[in-house]
């Protein structure tokens, strides 16, 4: 075997390994992207489930004759979970994530204002539109946030 023949074999072997490595890299990139999409879908499902729980809690709050404090804490808990998942979603804009967070903050900081029946009904409608994946839900949520007297209690 000549030196030239040995170099040709090594070159062919290097080309084969680089092709195999490139194919493997493409497969792993595809699997990574697929898994990221699957995780985002799981986050979206959890976000919607928490919005549905919050809607149920608001309905329970509006229909109840007593024990509003416990029902309000359930609303807070469900909204807190929805808020957490909102920040994990990539298909929401930063403004939409901030709106969900501010809505949750209003529930925490201004319970006296948020517990008003009319505001709670508006809150329920905004949640229903958010759950239906409608952009007007974010606008309705922003209207609720803007209607809060942040200097008062």
Residue 22 lies in a domain: no
Residue 142: name the closest of 112, 101, 109, 113 by CA.
101
pLDDT at 153 (0 to 100): 56
Residue 21 lies in a domain: no
Count other Cβ atoms within 10 Å, centred on residue 55.
Answer: 19
Number of domains comprising the chain? 1
138, 130 contact by CB (below 8 A): yes
pLDDT at 129 (0 to 100): 92
Beta-carbon contacts of 146 under 8 Å, excluding residues fewer than 6 positions away, are: none
pTM value? 0.81
Residue 11 lies in a domain: no
Q: List the domain range (segments joined by +) for residue 134.
A: 46-147
For 30-83, the pLDDT digits (tens) are: 999 999 999 999 999 999 999 999 999 999 999 887 788 899 999 999 999 999
Residue 58 lies in a domain: yes
Residue 121 lies in a domain: yes
For 92-141, the pLDDT digits (tens) are: 899 999 999 999 999 999 999 888 889 999 999 999 999 998 889 899 99
Residue 59 lies in a domain: yes
Residue 78 lies in a domain: yes
pLDDT at 7 (0 to 100): 93
Question: Is the predicted pLDDT of residue 149 greater than 80, yes or no?
Answer: yes
Rounded Cα–Cα distance for residues 140 and 123 (Å):
8
pLDDT at 134 (0 to 100): 87
Residue 75 lies in a domain: yes
pLDDT at 1 (0 to 100): 72
Residue 132: name the closest of 44, 48, 47, 38 by CA.
48
Rounded Cα–Cα distance for residues 61 and 67 (Å):
9
């Amino acid at each position: 075997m000549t030196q030239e023949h040995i170099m040709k074999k090594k070159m062919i072997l290097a080309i084969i390994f680089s092709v195999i490595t490139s194919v493997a890299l493409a497969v792993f990139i595809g699997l990574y992207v697929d898994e990221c999409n699957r995780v985002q879908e799981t986050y979206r499902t959890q976000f919607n489930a928490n919005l549905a729980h919050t809607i149920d809690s608001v309905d329970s709050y509006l229909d109840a004759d007593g024990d509003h404090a416990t029902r309000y804490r359930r609303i807070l808990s469900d909204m807190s979970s929805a808020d957490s998942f909102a920040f994990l979603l990539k298909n929401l804009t930063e403004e939409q994530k901030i709106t969900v967070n501010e809505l949750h903050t209003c529930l925490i900081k201004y319970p006296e204002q948020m517990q008003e029946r009319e505001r709670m009904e508006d809150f329920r409608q905004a949640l229903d539109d958010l759950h239906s994946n409608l952009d007007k839900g974010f606008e309705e949520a922003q209207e609720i946030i803007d209607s809060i007297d942040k200097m008062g209690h």
